Structure formats: structure tokens, C-alpha cells
Structure 1
Amino acid sequence: MVTEKINGLQLFIMILLLELGSAVVLGFTFEAGNSSWLVIIMSTLGGIALYVLYTHLSSYHPTLLLTQAVRKITGPVIGFLIAIVYIGYFFYIAARVLGDFSNLLQLTILQGTPLLVVAGAFTLMVGIASYLGIEVLARTAEVLFPWVIVFGGLFLFFVYIDGLPDFRNLQPILDKGWKPIIDTTFPQGLTFPFGELIVFLMFFPYLAGSTNITRVGIMGVIMSGIILTITQVTILAVHGAETAKLLTIPLLETISLVNIQDIIQRMDPLVIITMIVLGFFKIALFFHAAIIGMHETFLIPRSKRIWLVSGAGIILIIITYMISHDYVRHIFVGLEIVPMYVHVPLQIILPVLLIGIAFLRHKINP
């Protein structure tokens, strides 16, 4: 039974932090050339549709977690298997994102530090947050969110004050036509990060009062889309599409160019701290979704959470190392293979099937 509670503002903030998460660090692909920013706009529109799909699925059993609802919709046996699949999915995404940010720290401020050490430190923070619960995690997000927005705004402000962007780099628009934009939007842009909102089906039952989850979520998706579009336009204007494709961490390498009168410069550490905050919340939300899914699916009592979190944390570190110690391969798999063969089935196909089954059940047994 759900006892912890979060409010609508906290839901909005967590949606925004999750959406910005690794998308800010890795950036959207620049394969669509000068018009890559159009990919984000189209992906945002698709993200709104996906979020509405998820809230509609939740409306059939609003008081149940996703792992509970699938058993109500498809029956105990098939539902149990689907629940295990989603638990594994949330855990896998947590490991992928942990790999993203562990490599980020290795490449920047912790050069020479073993990946296992960096991932272990991250996992310790995430584990503590999961042990304390979604209510504490939501309150922490509420406290840190203003700082993320202020620092993020200042970073972009300094880039423009220093005169780094050259908007001629955005011309001509549609230089490669619509095909690369459409190809990049689906499946990559739609599923990462917008399709990852499916994780909130594990948190909707914690909402207190009469929060309109559809309206709050759509506002979060639109706001994150605006921020990501501004970021993408800035990167393109500073570097151009061909150079941006070669950058490991486009946003960080853009802001590192700022030098205003030899006074405001070397903001890299502050940028990295901001990115770490974003990464922490994304990892924590997926990890905690897996934890509460295991609690209810395998009937693990709340009193055993310390052992569950500890064991899952150790496994998370091991899986992270296995899939991300080769960073080039890690990025290739994350951007070229996972969207089509992991995200699309679990973010789009299966939810649509579940809604169809739930609709038929409701018609037969209103």
C-alpha cells in the first residue's frame, strides 16, 4: 500500500529533471545537420502524445503501480512476467545512465579514477535516496531545482554575452531535407528522453490530492523541450553541425569556450556539478522504480529495503561496468540499438497493447 506522498509541483520538477538528465550531457544527435533542433521540436510533440498515452493507461488503475496494474490487465501469470520485464528495464536504464555520468566524470574532473570507483560513489548516493523513499527524493528535487535552472540560465547567458554563437551556422535550414529529421526523430528522439517518462507510471499512485497528472506532465514535457531546443540551437550556432558531431560532451565543450575579459572563464566545474545533479535524479528515479517494483512483485517487506537496495546497488555497479567500460561502444549501443529494440517495444508497443486489453476488459466487465 502506498503511504508516501508527492505533490503536483514535485512531479513537474522530477519530469523536467529526468528529461534534461543525460539529454543535456550527450546532446541530441546532429545527423540532421543545421536543422537538428527541429528534431527536438518534433520529438517534444511526440513526447506529449506518449505522456498522454501513459496517463490513459494509468487511468484504468490509478491507485496501482505499473507492475501491479499489468497483472490486473493481463492476468497474474502474464502480468507477473511483464512486471519482471519492466523492473529489468528500469534497472537497465539506471545502469546506462550511471555509465553516462561515470564516464563524464572520468573524462573531466576525475581523470585516471577507475570507472568502478566513480560508479560506486554515484550508486551510494542513489542507494541512500532510494532507501529514504520517493517523498524524500521529491523534496530534494524541489530544493535543488531552482539552482539547476539559475546555473543553467547563467551558463547560456555567458555564452551569448561572449558573442560565441554565429547563427549563420544554422543556415540553410533543412539543408539535408526532411528525411534525416524524421529518421532521427523516430525512434531516437522520441524514445530518448521523452519515452522514458514511462517510469512515472511507478510514481503516479504517490500523488496527493487531486493533481491533474496529464496537465502537469504536459507542462513538464513542453518546458523540457524548450530548454533542450535552446541548448541545441546554441551548440549548433557556436560550433556548426559538422564540428558538433565530433564533440564528446557538446554542451560542456561549448561553455568551456567562454572567456569574458579574462574574468569569467573556466566554468567547467560548475557545469559538471549541475550535470551531476541532473544525472543523479535520473538514475535515482529509474533505480527506485526498479526497487519498489521488486518490493511489490516479489512481496519483499519494507523492513528489508536496506538489504534489497544494497544488493541491487552492487549489481548496478557491476552491470554499469560491463556495459560502459568501453565508452565508444556504450554510446553506440545507447543511441543506435537501444531506441529501436528496447525502448520502442516497452515504451510504445506494449503500453498500446495494455491499453487495448484494459479497454476490452472494461467494456466486457464495466
Structure 2
Amino acid sequence: MNKITVYQLFAITFIFQLGTTIIFGFGGSAGRDAWIGELISCCLAVFIVMTYIALMRMNPGLTLVQWFPAQFGRWIGKPLAFLYPLMFLYSVGRIIADIRDMVSTTVLPNTPLFVISGLFAIIIAYCVYGGTVIVARLGEMILPIVLLMFFIEIILLSGSGVLHINNLLPVLENGWEPVWKVVYPSGITQSFGETLVLAMFWPETKRPEKVMKVTLLATILSGSMVTLFDVLAILVFGDMFSSFLYPLYTLLSLISIGHFIENLQMFGVLYLLMTALLKSVVYMLAAVKGIQQLTNMKGSRVLVIPASAISLFLGMTMSKNIAEHIYRHHFELLVPYVWVPLLFVLPAILLIVTWLRQLKK
């Protein structure tokens, strides 16, 4: 079996954590202090990721969905473990809805939503059908493109004369409360807490002893990159940053050098398409692998088409518009009632139980 290299693991983790955060911006409710919220979230994320890796080391050779039966037994552990593939499928549906709304409101306003969503779902299914190797190569290919686009964007924005340092001031004008509301629970769950899905792939790495170092490095760098994106947006828009649904897309529309280099919004769409594709493929592959392992199926390929169809259905029906999709389903339902229990509470309980069982032995 082909295993994931250290570089491929770094690429997958880094791009996965950027995900859709890179286009929607981070912590808009904190206004010009959003970048502080991202920095704090990134620092706290280091401890969250270390918790996940501690669980991996306590359960050597086992994936995320195998941890629970191993520690809680089959009758309790399997039902709990099944919650994760279901969450992964729902997350793919959310990303499909993100793509549907972003593409239809920016570059293809007259294209039927089902066509946009369906095409994206087909691409996801095609990549997942290729297995872990395809996902690893996809991350390997996307990483340098995203980094190159990022540095080009910084250079072009600097040359356009739209960055104003005074827009960052005053710092913490409204105190710490808006910042902490951004940090918990949404700041540390989105992207950082979601890293738990990669525990489905950690046993497939060539050098398991490097997982901790690589994952922490990717976490710090992705957090730094999102922080820098927030800073760039605030330098341009000031406190108005919080009023934009797609701040990166709007930011790129302001680039103008010599009336020659202009209208680079397509960069923003490419950012989202590449990072969202990898994130959704990782989620989908983790979902089908998880179901396969929990049901003792011989292979997971037979699950790809049904799983993709379910995610497509969810993506098309979970919300009527972008406002309901983000504010109602994400902040009011998904984060407190799905992500916090599955990404924090259950892993914390599992860590305590595993530690006590090992202590007893």
C-alpha cells in the first residue's frame, strides 16, 4: 500500500485548515480586531492538535473511528464512532453549499445551482475513488499554487496603494469580549478542531513519529496565513471588513497597477475552489473509510457514489440562501451542537478513559 509522505501530510493539513476560511475571512464580528482572534485561536489550536496526537499515540495503528471501540467496547464505541462519518458527510454538504453560493453570486450568476453543485460533487467523487494516494498528490499539487498566489497578491496589493496602516487602529477598541466570542467556540473549531478528521489518515503515513511535528507546523503556518489575510483586509477596509461576505474576493477587486493589472477577483474564486476541493475530498474519503472500517466491508469504493449523492442532496437543501447557511446553520446549530461535542467533548472523554486504562495496566 502506498503511504503518505511527510511533505504530503504537511500539504494536506495546511490546505485543509485553510479550507473555506480563506475566502470568507475570519472573525468578522470582531471588526478590526479579527486578526487578534485568529492569533489566539491558532495558539489554542496547538493544544487541541496535541490532544488528538496523544490519542493517536495511545492507540497505535488505529484510525479515529477505531479508537472508540478499542477503548469503550463494541456496544458503546461503535455507535459513538459512527457519528464521525455522518459529520464528515454533512461537512461535505456544507462545502458544496459554499461553492454553490460563492460561484453563483460571483462568476456564474445565470448558471443553475444544481449544475454548479452537481459538477463539484462529481469531481469530489472522482478524486475519492482514486483513494488516499490521489488525495495526497492533490495536496502536493495545490500547496505551491496557493502559496504563489498568496505572495503575488501581497505584492500587487502593496503596489496598488490601498493599504493604510491606520485602519488597524485603535486596537481592542471594544475590549476583549468581541475577540473572545470569535475565538470560542467557532474560532478554534473551524479548521483547527476539524483537523481531527486527519486521524483517519495518520496511520497511513510513512513516518508516524513525524505526525506531531508536521501537523503542529501546518497549524501554526495556516493560522499565520489566515491572520495575514485578515490584516490585509483590515488595512484596506478598516472596520468595514466585518460587512463583507467575501472579503478576499472584494479585496482582489481593488488591485490596480497602471490600469493594466486589474480585476483579479478570479484569484479569489480559484483560492476557494482549490482549498474547498481538497477539504471536501479529505472529508468524503474519511467518511467512506470510516464506514468501511466500522462495518468490516472489504473496500470503500462501493460507498463513494451513495455518499456523494447524500452530500449533494444536503448541499442543495440545507439552506435557502447564504445568510441562513452561515448564520443560522453554522453559528447557531453546527458549531455548538455538533462540532463542540464531537471535536472537543468526546475526544477529551476518550483521552481520560484511555489514560486511565493504560494507567491501570
Shared fold, TM over 0.5: yes
State how far apart, in whole Å, the 2-side matches of 1:341 and 1:24 are: 24
1:258 to 255, 258, 276: 255
CA contact (8 A) 2:30 2:242 kept: no
Name 1:340's counterpart in structure 2: 336
* Alpha-carbon shift at residue 182 of structure 1 (Å): 1.3
| Residues 62-71 or 336-345, more deviating | 336-345
Number of corresponding residues: 360
Counterpart of 1:263, as a letter, is F
CA contact (8 A) 1:130 1:284 kept: yes
State how far apart, in whole Å, the 2-side matches of 1:291 and 1:182 are: 36
Q: Structure 2: 5+ residue runs without aligned partners?
A: none
Name 1:140's counterpart in structure 2: 138
Name 1:309's counterpart in structure 2: 304
Distance 1:210 1:316, change over 3 A: closer
Distance 1:336 1:240, change over 3 A: farther
State how far apart, in whole Å, the 1-side matches of 2:52 and 2:168 are: 35
Counterpart of 2:259, as a letter, is D
CA contact (8 A) 2:89 2:310 kept: no
Counterpart of 2:271, as a letter, is T
1:178 to 159, 166, 176: 176
Name 2:287's counterpart in structure 1: 290
State how far apart, in whole Å, the 1-side matches of 2:151 and 2:201 are: 29
State how far apart, in whole Å, the 2-side matches of 1:104 and 1:28 are: 16
Q: Please give the residue correspondences for 1:195-234 in structure 2 after superposition, counting only pairs within 5 Å.
A: 195-234=193-232
- Identity among equivalent pairs (%): 27
Name 2:278's counterpart in structure 1: 281
State how far apart, in whole Å, the 2-side matches of 1:324 and 1:165 are: 36
State how far apart, in whole Å, the 2-side matches of 1:336 and 1:237 are: 30
For the residue of structure 2 that corresponds to 1:175, the secondary structure is coil
For the residue of structure 2 that corresponds to 1:212, the secondary structure is helix
Counterpart of 1:88, as a letter, is L
State how far apart, in whole Å, the 2-side matches of 1:335 and 1:224 are: 22
* Alpha-carbon shift at residue 210 of structure 1 (Å): 4.7
For the residue of structure 2 that corresponds to 1:31, the secondary structure is helix
* Alpha-carbon shift at residue 209 of structure 1 (Å): 2.9
Residue 362 in structure 1 maps to residue 333 in structure 2 = no
Name 2:165's counterpart in structure 1: 167
CA contact (8 A) 1:20 1:278 kept: yes
Name 1:319's counterpart in structure 2: 314
Counterpart of 2:315, as a letter, is T
* Alpha-carbon shift at residue 95 of structure 1 (Å): 1.1
1:30 to 28, 31, 36: 28
Distance 1:181 1:346, change over 3 A: same
CA contact (8 A) 2:28 2:243 kept: no
Counterpart of 2:293, as a letter, is E
State how far apart, in whole Å, the 2-side matches of 1:225 and 1:135 are: 26
Counterpart of 1:222, as a letter, is I
| Residues 93-102 or 218-227, more deviating | 93-102
* Alpha-carbon shift at residue 114 of structure 1 (Å): 2.1
State how far apart, in whole Å, the 2-side matches of 1:42 and 1:271 are: 25
1:78 to 62, 76, 79: 76
State how far apart, in whole Å, the 2-side matches of 1:331 and 1:134 are: 30
Counterpart of 1:290, as a letter, is A
**1:172-226 CA deviation, whole Å, 9 max, x = no partner?**
0010101111121110111112111010111111111354111111100110011
* Alpha-carbon shift at residue 62 of structure 1 (Å): 2.1
Counterpart of 1:11, as a letter, is L
1:124 to 110, 116, 122: 122
State how far apart, in whole Å, the 2-side matches of 1:111 and 1:48 are: 40
**1:101-120 CA deviation, whole Å, 9 max, x = no partner?**
22111111111222221111
State how far apart, in whole Å, the 2-side matches of 1:133 and 1:221 are: 24
Distance 1:247 1:269, change over 3 A: same
State how far apart, in whole Å, the 1-side matches of 2:193 and 2:259 are: 42
**After TM superposition, where is structure 1 displaced by more than 2 Å over at least 4 residues in a row?**
none
State how far apart, in whole Å, the 1-side matches of 2:305 and 2:208 are: 35
RMSD over aligned Cα atoms = 1.3
1:49 to 47, 57, 62: 47
State how far apart, in whole Å, the 2-side matches of 1:161 and 1:136 are: 38
Counterpart of 1:292, as a letter, is K
* Alpha-carbon shift at residue 282 of structure 1 (Å): 0.7
Counterpart of 2:190, as a letter, is F
Q: Please give the residue correspondences for 1:13-24 in structure 2 after superposition, counting only pairs within 5 Å.
A: 13-24=11-22
Distance 1:270 1:178, change over 3 A: closer
State how far apart, in whole Å, the 2-side matches of 1:110 and 1:96 are: 19
Counterpart of 2:338, as a letter, is V
